[in-house]
Each structure stands twice: as structure tokens, then as C-alpha cells.
Amino acid sequence: MVGIFDNPQLLLFFIFSGVLIAGALGVVFHPNAISSAVLLVLSFFALAGIYAVIGSVFVATMQILVYAGAIMVLVVFVLMLLSLHDEGAAKLWNHPLKKVLVLSVTVLLAIVLIHSVKEGIPNTDATPNGYSASGSYEYTLSESEEGKAGVIAEGNTAVVGSSMFLDYLLPFEIVSILLLAAVLGAVILGKKNLGKKTEEGEQ
């Protein structure tokens, strides 16, 4: 049996996974919102490392550029715009109904996680989408017909783009709408806080 230290790829996976789990727990439990944002950046870098270990270099690069870069800058600006304080978070947590809701969601996610670990990865015998029989990155856009050659996207970037906008177009658009709603909500809340501060300054 091959040990973890004899397999550098597996060792790196466990290191990045440990950093990712520790960073995610820090994001949830740290009382300071800005520190949580910094820990979230650490989690994004660890996740990018996991992507790189499994061979998805393009996804790892996009994880750093898009999430650890652009998205986190937006999150930090929103936190500063809203001027979140520890007192507000304490009042939110002391509300009994919200506390029950948070604990219920946590228990539900824990049950789903335990069930997923027990069941393992589904369809392990099926050929992974985006890979050829030789193990290279290939995505078939159209099957070959009589007298016509099939169209095949080759390379990590082409395969990820083809799969995202063909197989996962609906989830991609749903996430885009959620991000747009989050930005609009932050702007609305920021304007409310700005109006309150202006009134207090006039008084």
C-alpha cells in the first residue's frame, strides 16, 4: 500500500484541504467581518491549489484571478460600505428564530456531507466528460457523420468553456442572477445607511 508521503499529489491534496477547511471555519466563526474576508481569500487560494493538483490548471488560474481577486475586492468594498459592527452581528445571533434557522441549516448540511462521504463519488465507472480515452482534454461538439468530420474542442480552456456554456448553462446563469441580486442589495443597504448618517449629521 502506497503511503501519503510516497505520493506527492495526495500529500498536497491533504495539505490544501486542511488549509481550506481551517479557512472556511475561520470565515464562519471569526467575529470580525474584514478578517473573515481575508480568511476567505486564503480559502480561495487553497481551493485553487486543489484544482492545480488534480490537473485543472485553467480553473485554478480563474479561481485566483476571479474569486481571490475581483470578487473579494467587491466583498471588501461592500463590507466597508455597510459598516458592519460586532454589535449588529450579536443582535442577529441572539434572535431565537434566526438561531434555530442557522442551526437547522447547519445540521442539514452536516447530514448531506456525511451521506455524501458514505456513498462516495457516483458513476465512477462512467467515462468522465471532457476526457478522451487516452486521458487528454477533449470535448465533442458534434459527432462525425458520413463525409463530415466531427468538431472536437481540445485543451483545458476549450473543454471547460464548452462544458460550462453547453452542459451547465442554466446553473451558470442562475449564479449570475444571484450575484447581480447581491450587488443590488448591497447598494440599496448602503444608500439606507448613507441616508441615516446624513440625517444624524444634520441634527
Domain boundary among 83, 111, 143: 83
**Does residue 26 form part of some domain?**
yes
Are residues 2 and 38 located together in one domain of the fold?
yes
Residue pLDDT, tens place only, 136-181 = 777 777 666 665 556 677 777 777 777 778 888 888 899 889 878 8
User: How far apart (Å, rounded) are the C-alpha atoms in residues 55 and 18?
Assistant: 19
Continuous H helices in the chain: 8-29, 33-53, 57-62, 72-82, 86-94, 96-119, 156-166, 169-202
pTM of the predicted structure, to 2 decimals: 0.61
Q: Do residues 70 and 100 share a domain? A: no
* Total domains in the fold of the chain: 3
- Average pLDDT over the chain reads 76
Could you tell me the CA-to-CA distances from 193 to 49, 82, 84, 189, 190 in Å, in that order?
Answer: 39, 7, 10, 6, 5
Residue 90 lies in a domain: no
Is 154 within 8 Å of 137 (Cβ atoms)?
Answer: yes
Measured distance CA(119)–CA(143) in Å, rounded: 34
Tell me, yes or no, whether 102 lies in a domain: yes
**Residue range 100-113: mean pLDDT, rounded:** 86
Considering the domain architecture, whether residues 115 and 159 belong to the same structural domain is answered as no
Is 88 inside any structural domain?
no
Q: Is 151 found in the same domain as 118?
A: no
Q: Are residues 104 and 160 in the same domain?
A: no
Same domain assignment for residues 76 and 106: no
Residues 113 and 146 in one domain: no
Any domain includes 197: no
Of 63-72, 117-126, 127-136, highest mean pLDDT: 63-72
**pLDDT tens, 84-98?**
554 455 565 677 787
Is 159 in contact with 137 (CB distance < 8 Å)? yes
Contact 81, 186 (CB under 8 A): yes
115 and 143, same domain (yes or no): no
Instruction: State the residue range of the domain holding 71.
Output: 1-83
Residue 200 inside a domain? The answer is no
How far is Cα 126 from Cα 101, in angstroms, rounded to an integer?
Answer: 38
